[in-house]
Each structure stands twice: as structure tokens, then as C-alpha cells.
């Protein structure tokens, strides 16, 4: 076997949260054949397999992971034209923010609002990554993935991916079945930037005329930096897994219940329209109103001073401490508003 498999590799340095134990086995894969060899390695030993991207949406248990961690590092970007669209077919191991920058530099619209999001490109369709009014589902045309059951590389159309809010078939009905090898995006050549999201619109309020894609990318990165959601070396508040909870989507009846609870406390519930007459409310608002304001500290973990949805490692934290704070927050929100917050990160080894 040509693939190098290492043992007892620390995983904490490979995550943005910076906590957790080692991987019993670890392999970095640069080609489809590498991926196949890693899968065979795990099967021969009858051990679990975990696919690691950029480690930006991950909480690793203090005991680590007792199987094989497969780090996808497949690179390469091919471009072609299709009418008014520019097609970008990229390897799953490409850095996501660098890919966004490349698209913006070529004046191709559709992912500029997804600037500054850490991690690798192959991870974006799994969770249907979105921010500031855009989702990757808006521009993905195909996803290429190895089927662990058949051994074939399948091509998934946008529709076949089953995209929904922070979801796809890859993290729901077909979870753990596929390893994403590459993704194709269709971006609009010389298209206008998307600027209708409230935070972005406010940030650009003094801008004269329509901003360029590059200006919107800078604005998004500035906003993310102001909320400690941009990975900056030395910034304690950036040692997080990003937004730790999904924004809950409520039926009209459930929203009325929450509104009634809030009204008794003299609070206004912020909300945004969601499909099928539902309403989305900010998880950050629920967290703060349930007793966990920005800057909350519990020993070596806490809430970011700039973003109520980010649980941060204040230095030397353990995964158990992060999980304990997560549990306390969920319990408080459930007790006060009757809403069960859903965590966004993947929990490995728990």
C-alpha cells in the first residue's frame, strides 16, 4: 500500500476549536486512489472511518477517535464557460475561502457572501454552508462522491443532493455513506453581488452606487472579523467551531407561543420568513435571553465576546468542558422558551 498511515496523531491542532484527543490512525489523501486505499485500510481492520476537512465544524472527544481519520486533501480547479456562467470544478481539499477569492477575482458572482468561512471546499455541500443570504446550494451543479457501499464514484445533481437549511443527503439520509471528492459550481460571469442581508446592507449603507464583488467580499470578512467569526491568529474569540447552534425554524403556532413568553418579559422576538409559512428566529437571541450573554465564562470555556453563538476555548479547554457548556445552554433555552436548539458541529468520538 502506497498510502502513508500514521498512528496517534493529535487532532486538536487540526480543528479551529483546538480541543480533543488523538486519532488512532490518520491518513492524508491526495487522490481518489488514496481515498480508496484508506477505506480499504479501515475495512481490513474493522475500524470506524471519519472524513476530516478543515476541522472548522468539529468537536473531538478528549479520548480522541479510535478509528481512521481520513483527511481529504484533493486539490485542483478546472474552469470552463457555459453561456453566461463560469463553471469551476474543484477538488474537495481546496481551501474554501481561497476558492471564493479566486471566483471574486474573476468577477464571478454567487459565493461572495460566503467569504471568510473556514474549512475545505468538499465540506460545503454536506451542511449546505450559507451566510449573509447565500448558500452553496444556490450555485452547486454537481457533487462527485465515492459511494462506500458500491465502490463507485457517483455524480449528484443539485436536486439529488437534497439541499435544505444546513442540510443535504450527505448529513441526513445518506450520512457516512459517501466521501466527497470534488464539486462543480456554476457562477454568474460579471454578475451583481448579493447585498440584501441586513448586516451586509447596514455595513454598506454609506457606499455610493453598487459595490463590486470584491467590496462585498471585504465587507463580509470585516463583519465576520467583528464577530470573531474569522480565523485570526492570536484572537481568543476565534478559537471556536463557528456558530454552535442552528437557528430554529418554527411553525406559526410555535412562534406564537414563543412570542407570548417573550411578551411577558417585555421582549421582542426577532424573526425572518422561512419556507412553508414558518419563521426562523436567531439562536443567538435565544442564547442571550436565556442567561448566556456575550463574554460569559465558565472556567476555560465561554461565549465569544462578539458572537453569542460561538462557544470558545479560552485556553487549555477540554472537549468535556465545551460539551458541558453546550448542554447548559440547551437546557436553559428549552426551559425558558420550549425550544430544543440543534448543535451545528460534528461530534467525533463521543
* pLDDT, tens only, 159-207: 999 999 889 999 999 999 999 999 999 999 999 999 988 888 889 988 8
Torsion from C-alpha of 206, 210, 213, 214, nearest 10 degrees: -40
Q: What percent of the chain has pLDDT over 90?
A: 86
What was the pLDDT predicted at 1?
Answer: 63
Task: Report, as an integer, the average pLDDT of 312-328.
Answer: 96
Contacts of 65 (CB under 8 A, 6+ apart): 11, 21, 22, 23, 24, 48, 50, 348, 349
Between 227 and 184, the higher pLDDT residue: 184
Q: Is 79 exposed, middle or buried (0-12, 13-18, 19+ CB in 10 A)?
A: middle
Task: Report, as an integer, the average pLDDT of 119-139.
Answer: 95
Distance CA 338, CA 261 (A): 9
Cell of 309: 453563538
Q: Which residues pair with 9 in a beta bridge?
A: 23
Mean confidence (pLDDT) of the chain: 94
Task: Report, as an integer, the average pLDDT of 300-329.
Answer: 95
Residue 250 sits at φ, ψ, to 5 deg, of -115, 150
Residue 336 sits at φ, ψ, to 5 deg, of -90, -30
Helix (H), strand (E) at residue 81: strand 77-82
Distance CA 117, CA 107 (A): 19
Burial 166-191 (b: 16+ CB within 10 A, else e): bbbbbbeebeeebbbbbbbbbbeeeb
DSSP alpha helix (H) spans, the chain: 32-45, 96-105, 198-203, 213-226, 252-264, 283-289, 319-337
Residue 117: how many CA atoms within 13 Å on its side-chain side? 26
What was the pLDDT predicted at 242?
Answer: 86
Name the pLDDT band for 348 (thresholds 50, 70, 90).
very high
Residue 234 scores a pLDDT above 80: no
Domain annotation for the chain: domains and CATH numbers: 5-72 (3.30.43.10), 77-226 (3.30.465.10), 236-348 (3.90.78.10)
Residue 116 DSSP code: T
Residue 139 scores a pLDDT above 90: yes
Cell of 273: 420568513
How many other β-carbons are positioned within 10 Å of the β-carbon of residue 147?
A: 13
The residues annotated as belonging to the active site are: 166, 243, 344
Q: What percent of the chain has pLDDT over 70?
A: 100
Distance CA 344, CA 168 (A): 13
Distance CA 189, CA 288 (A): 41
Query: Under DSSP, is residue 217 helix (H, G, I), strand (E, B) or coil?
Result: helix
Instruction: List, for residues 56-81, the tens digit of each pLDDT value.
Output: 889 999 999 999 999 999 999 999 99
What was the pLDDT predicted at 30?
Answer: 96
DSSP alpha helix (H) spans, 66-193: 96-105
What length does the chain have? 350
Residues 158, 162, 163: CA angle, nearest 5 degrees? 80
Amino acid at each position: 500500500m502506497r498510502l502513508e498511515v500514521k498512528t496517534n496523531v493529535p487532532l486538536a491542532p487540526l480543528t479551529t476549536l483546538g480541543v480533543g484527543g488523538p486519532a488512532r490512525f490518520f491518513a492524508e489523501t491526495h487522490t481518489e486512489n488514496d481515498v480508496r486505499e484508506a477505506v480499504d485500510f479501515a475495512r481490513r481492520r474493522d475500524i470506524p472511518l471519519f472524513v476530516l476537512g478543515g476541522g472548522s465544524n468539529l468537536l473531538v472527544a478528549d479520548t480522541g477517535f479510535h478509528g481512521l481519520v481520513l483527511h481529504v486533501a484533493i486539490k485542483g480547479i478546472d474552469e470552463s464557460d457555459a453561456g453566461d456562467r463560469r463553471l469551476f470544478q474543484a477538488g474537495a481539499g481546496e481551501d474554501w475561502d481561497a476558492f471564493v477569492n479566486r471566483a471574486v477575482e474573476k468577477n464571478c458572482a454567487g459565493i461572495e457572501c460566503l467569504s471568510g468561512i473556514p474549512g475545505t471546499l468538499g465540506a460545503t455541500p454536506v451542511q449546505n454552508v450559507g451566510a449573509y443570504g447565500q448558500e452553496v446550494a444556490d450555485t452547486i451543479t454537481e457533487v462527485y462522491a465515492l459511494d462506500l457501499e458500491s465502490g463507485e464514484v457517483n455524480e449528484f445533481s443539485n436536486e439529488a443532493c437534497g439541499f435544505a437549511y444546513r442540510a443535504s443527503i450527505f448529513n441526513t439520509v445518506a450520512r457516512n455513506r459517501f466521501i466527497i471528492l470534488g464539486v462543480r459550481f456554476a457562477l454568474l460571469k460579471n454578475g451583481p453581488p448579493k447585498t440584501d442581508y441586513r448586516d451586509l446592507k447596514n455595513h454598506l449603507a454609506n457606499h455610493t452606487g453598487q459595490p463590486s464583488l470584491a467590496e462585498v467580499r471585504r465587507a463580509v470578512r470585516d463583519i465576520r472579523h467583528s464577530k470573531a467569526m474569522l480565523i485570526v491568529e492570536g484572537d481568543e474569540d476565534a478559537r471556536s467551531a463557528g456558530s454552535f447552534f442552528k437557528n430554529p425554524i418554527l411553525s406559526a403556532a410555535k412562534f406564537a407561543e414563543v412570542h407570548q413568553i417573550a411578551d411577558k418579559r417585555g421582549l421582542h422576538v426577532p424573526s425572518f420568513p422561512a419556507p412553508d409559512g414558518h419563521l426562523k428566529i436567531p439562536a443567538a437571541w435565544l442564547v442571550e435571553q436565556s442567561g448566556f450573554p456575550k463574554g460569559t465564562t465558565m472556567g476555560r470555556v465561554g461565549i465569544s465576546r462578539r458572537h453569542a453563538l460561538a462557544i470558545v476555548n479560552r485556553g487549555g479547554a477540554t472537549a468535556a468542558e465545551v460539551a458541558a457548556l453546550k448542554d447548559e445552554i440547551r437546557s436553559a433555552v428549552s426551559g425558558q422558551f420550549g425550544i430544543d436548539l440543534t448543535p451545528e458541529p460534528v461530534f467525533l468520538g463521543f
